Every structure is written in C-alpha cells, then in structure tokens.
Copies of this chain bind each other. A is one copy, B any other.
Amino acid sequence: MRLVVVAGSTQTAAIDGISAAGADADALRHTPSADLEILEYGEPVRSPVVPVSPTGCPTPAVATRAVREHVGFDVTAVDAGLARPTGAPTVDLGDEPGADIRDVDPVPNAERLFERARSFAAGLPDDELAVAETIPGGTTTALGVLTALGERPAVSSSLPENPLDRKRRVVEAALVASDLEPGGAAGDPVEALRRVGDPVLAVVAGFVVGATETDTRVRLAGGTQLAAAAALARHAGVDTALSLETTSFVADDDSAAVHGLADDLDLTLRATDPGFEQRDHPATNAYVAGEAKEGVGMGGALAMAARDGVSMATVRETVVDLVEDLLATRAAGEPQP
C-alpha cells in the first residue's frame, strides 16, 4: 500500500483561535514540513520545530510513523505549497502557500494544482492508494469548500473545543469577499477551491479524480478535510466507491458530523480506535482529552495496522517511544534551524 501525503500551508491558519497545530505562528508554518520528516525518518531532520504541543500532544504524524515502523507501507509526500523547506523527499506539484480565504482569490493556481495532481495520480501504477493531508487551518478551508458546494457545513477541529462559530464567521467573510452564496460553487469544484479553499485540498481532490479515472481504489485517510476532498471529487463527477478511514476521535466528535458527511457523500466510513485511554502518557492522554484527533493519515494508518494484524497495544507503545525520542531531541537542541 502506498500512502500519498499532501502537505502545504494556508494563511487562514494564522487567524486567531483557528488551529492547534504548532505552539505559535512560526511553528504552524513549519509543522507540515516537520510532519513529512517524521514520516520519512522518524524525527525532524531539517525543520527546527518538533511538533509536540506544550501540553505534550504530538502531531498525528507520530501515530502514522508508528504504524509504518510495523507495517512498512510506502509513503509518497507531495508538496502542494509548503511555507518552509523540508528535508523529506517530495513530489513538487505546488507553487506557494494559500492566502487567507477572506482574500478575494486565495488559491489563484487552484486549477493548475488540480490538473497536475489529476495527471500525477493517473500515471501511478498502484491498484490501490491511500491519500492524506497535513495543513494547519485545513478544517476551516474545508468548511469553506463544503459551504460553497452546498454540502453539510460541519468539520472537526484539532482543539478540544471546536471553534465552529469562529470558523463559520471566517467562511461567511470569505464567501462575501468572493461574492459567492452558500452552494454557489455546486458542480464547480475548482471555483470552490480557488475562492474559499487551500492548495492541499486542490491537490487531494485532483488526485482522487485522477486515481479513480484509472480505476485505482482510493482510501481517504483522514477526517472532515478528506470528506471535503471527497465532496470536491463528487462535484467533479466521481461516482465510484470511496472509503473514508479516520480515527475514533473524529468519529466521536459530534460537532464534526463525519457520519452525516459520509452518508451525504456516499463514503464507506471506517473509524479506528487506538485505545489511547489504556495508556497513561501525556501524548496519549492529550488525544483522549480531544486534542489533535487526526491528520497526516493517522486514521488510515491505524486501519492498515488493524488489517495487518498489528495490535493497537503495539502501536501505542511505539507512539510513546517516538514521542520520548522527539522530546529528547528537542531537549538536546537538535535539529539546528
């Protein structure tokens, strides 16, 4: 199995109270680059940021890496517009980060990104692919896209208390700036991406379209951002089966309504529970308390572990080991910026 992880940035993440990914604004910009390094090497190698929050909550990339150490799946990272350099190998389909969706034209290259990703996916020889995302602020842009398409306007959050009202106000302002009504981009996914989306969603949606055109089975490895990508693919005419593989943290979050989204969009939903409440450690406790929840393919990776017979107890211990190593690395002052 190949997991394609699409990484990028949007200035939307800098809006106060939107995202928990990263301790401050600079950390936010580095997080996707560091996530790719953790997936590839097990730790940051070039990024100066170790994505573990002050409360000890690690990036979900750690859970995906933990599964990879036992299952050994391939990872292909895609740069859809990173704000900071990464030491991980990437396929470069992007040009630049997305702007704040309250700007008129936050993703001016949406069509090019969509078409590049479609062509890239169509050329891959795999029979089956999983696709995931890492972009701080991505649930807000996902809410923008769902709203613009006229789909159920509900998304998850990396914060324990989902700031949905705040996100909705941002999306309302974004729609006004682009002179769009809710539902005004129905049937026009590129318009939704360009006006209220982000570069990662543009690449993931194009990727899903290209993969399904060539009869590749697609697993959407993530939560409501991947559901928004599925909505974009549906509005582009994709009517084949798609599965959404997420974590129990997203599935149990009533504010996210991922079950409703999956029903609306005809997605087979699979939620995997890593049983973090059975392991008392700041990393696992943070997820139990509702932090982070999903991202960087965590739900899809947990599903792979389950299919491969790797126990969740094994995954939990590897998560704890990786986090301890990350914190030791940070304490040692490495890596250097």
What is A's interface to B at a CB cutoff of 8 Å? 40-43, 45-46, 72, 76-78, 87-92, 120, 123-126, 334-336
A4 to chain B: closest residue by CB: B89
Chain A to chain B contacts (Cβ below 8 Å), 14 pairs: A41-B124, A42-B125, A45-B120, A45-B123, A45-B124, A46-B120, A76-B89, A77-B89, A87-B91, A88-B89, A89-B90, A90-B90, A90-B91, A92-B92
Contacts of A45 in B (CB 8 A): 120, 123-125
Contacts of A126 in B (CB 8 A): 41
Contacts of A77 in B (CB 8 A): 89
- Bound-state CA distance A123–B48 (Å) is 11
What's the minimum C-beta distance from A329 to chain B, rounded to whole angstroms?
9
A86 to chain B: closest residue by CB: B91
**Contact in complex: B89, A123 (CB < 8 Å):** no
> Other than the known A45-B120, A77-B89, what 10 A-B pairs have Cβ atoms closer than 8 Å?
A40-B76, A41-B124, A41-B126, A45-B123, A45-B124, A78-B89, A87-B120, A87-B123, A90-B90, A123-B334
A77 to chain B: closest residue by CB: B89
What's the minimum C-beta distance from A196 to chain B, rounded to whole angstroms?
29
- Bound-state CA distance A87–B92 (Å) is 8
Given contacts A43-B125, A45-B120, contact A89 B87 (CB under 8 A): no
- Bound-state CA distance A96–B185 (Å) is 41
- Bound-state CA distance A43–B78 (Å) is 18
- Bound-state CA distance A91–B90 (Å) is 6
The CB with the most chain B CB atoms within 10 A, among A90, A92, A120, A125, is that of A125
Going nearest first, the 5 A-B pairs with the smallest beta carbon separation are A89-B89, A45-B123, A89-B91, A123-B335, A89-B90
- Bound-state CA distance A222–B310 (Å) is 37
- Bound-state CA distance A88–B2 (Å) is 13
- Bound-state CA distance A46–B91 (Å) is 11
- Bound-state CA distance A92–B46 (Å) is 12
Set B46, B78, B91, B124: member contacting A123, Cβ < 8 A: B46
What's the minimum C-beta distance from A51 to chain B, rounded to whole angstroms?
16
Contacts of A91 in B (CB 8 A): 87-90
A88 to chain B: closest residue by CB: B91
Contacts of A40 in B (CB 8 A): 76
What's the minimum C-beta distance from A45 to chain B, rounded to whole angstroms?
4
Given contacts A46-B120, A120-B46, contact A41 B89 (CB under 8 A): no
What's the minimum C-beta distance from A7 to chain B, rounded to whole angstroms?
11
What's the minimum C-beta distance from A332 to chain B, rounded to whole angstroms?
12
What's the minimum C-beta distance from A309 to chain B, rounded to whole angstroms?
18
Contacts of A336 in B (CB 8 A): 123
